[in-house]
Structure 1
Amino acid sequence: MIIESERVYIRKFNKNDISSLHAIFSDTETMQYYPSPFSYEKTESWVIRNQERYKQDGFGLWAVCLKDNGNLIGDCGLVKQEVAGNIEVELGYHINKNFWFNGFGTEAALACKNYGFDHFGLNKLISIIDPKNVPSIRVAEKNGFKKEKQVFIFNKIHTIYSCNKKN
C-alpha cells in the first residue's frame, strides 16, 4: 500500500490487475474522452508502462482499491507529461463507472495530490482534462485545482488545471 484514505487504499499495479482494469478501460462511456476504449493488450501495456514509471520516476498511476473488500475500482496517481515544452507532473484518475458520483475519484485524487506534495516535494501538479469532461473538472476543482490554460495535446484541445503547494 502506498496511500490510504477513509474509504480507499492506493497501491502499485501488478499483472493480476489487468482484467479488472480492462473492465474499466474497455468501457466506451468511461473512455469517451479518449480516442477509443482500450484493448486487453493496450491495458496490459499500460500496466507495464506504469510499473516502469515506478522504477524510473518513483511514481505513476496506481490501483485504487476499496478498503472494505480490496476490489480495484480505478486508477489514480502522478505521471510526468510534456506540456508546451515543459515537463509537468499530472494528477490523473479513472474510476469504474459503477462507482461514479460517490466521491471516490475526489478522495483518491486528494490523497495522491497530498502524497505528491508531501512525499515527493512537488510544488505544482496539473490535470489535463478534455473541456467537455465535466465530472473530471469537478474532481479537479474540489481538490483545489484551477483552470490555467488550454493547450493542444494528445491530438486535441485540453484544458490544463493546476494546483500549487501551499506552504
Structure 2
Amino acid sequence: MVIETERLLLREFTHEDFPALFEIVSDPETMRHYPQPFDENRTKDWIEWNLQNYKEHGFGLWAVVLKETGEFTGDCGLTIQIIDGESLPEIGYHIHKNYWRKGFGSEAASAVRDWAFMNTEYDCLYSYMKYANIGSYSTAIAIGMRKVKEYPDEKNGISYAYAIKREEWEKLKW
C-alpha cells in the first residue's frame, strides 16, 4: 500500500521503522499532548497495532517518508478510534518536529482523507485531539474539517472532534 503526494510517500510500517518512529514518539515535545512519551515497548506495540489494522481493516497509520530522500518523517493514516463513546474512522498523524510548519502533516492527511473517501464506504471522517493541541486541529481545519464536538475525556481532560462529510469533501475535490 502506497499513497503518493507531491512530496511524500505513505507506506505500510515495517519493524525496520522502529528507530525512526521511536525518535518521534519518545520525544517529550512531540508527545506533549499525550499522557506521556512512548517507551520502546509502546513504540513496538504501536507498529504491531498498525500491522494488525492492515490485516483487519485494510488500513491503519502509514509511515510518511519524503519522496525525494526516503527519510522517515512520521505517520499518518486511518484507524478506528473511540470518540466520545463511538467507534469512528479517524485520520491521525504524528510528524517529526523537524518537519513541523512545512505542510507535511496537512499534505499527508489530505491524501489519507482522499484515499478513505475513495476506498471505503465511510460518509464521515474524524480527527480528535486534546483541546490544547493547536497543531493537530490546525491540520484538521487545513484538510476541510470543522469542529463538531467538544467533550470530557479521561485521557485528555477535554477533547475536540473535527469531521468532514463525504458531500463536503466532494465539493472540495470536484
1:26-105 aligned at under 5 Å gives the runs: 26-105=26-105
Equivalent residue letter for 1:103: G
Q: Distance in 1 between matches of 2:154 and 2:11?
A: 27
- Partner in structure 2 of residue 164 of structure 1: 165
Amino acid at match of 1:143: I
Distance 1:134 1:8, change over 3 A: same
Shift of 1:84: 3.2
Measured after TM superposition, the shift of residue 129 of structure 1 is 1.2
Residue-pair matches, total? 167
Residue 154 (structure 1) shift: 4.9
User: 2: distance between equivalents of 1:22 and 1:136?
Assistant: 20
Residue 121 (structure 1) shift: 2.8
Alpha-carbon separation, structure 2, partners of 1:26 and 1:58:
27
Between the two proteins, what is the percent identity of the paired residues?
Answer: 40
Partner Cα separation in structure 1 for residue 154 and residue 121 of structure 2: 27
TM-score, normalised with respect to structure 1 = 0.96
**How far apart are 1:20 and its partner, in Å?**
0.3
Any residues of structure 2 matched to 1:121-140 within 5 Å, and which?
121-140=121-140
- How far is the alpha carbon of 1:2 from its aligned partner? 1.9
Cα separation, 2, equivalents of 1:51 and 1:153: 27
Instruction: Specify the code of the residue in structure 2 equivalent to 1:24.
Output: I
Mapped partners of 2:142, 2:52: distance in 1 = 30
- Structure 2 length-normalised TM: 0.92
> Matches of residues 6-45 of structure 1 in structure 2 within 5 Å?
6-45=6-45
User: What residue number does 1:117 align with?
Assistant: 117
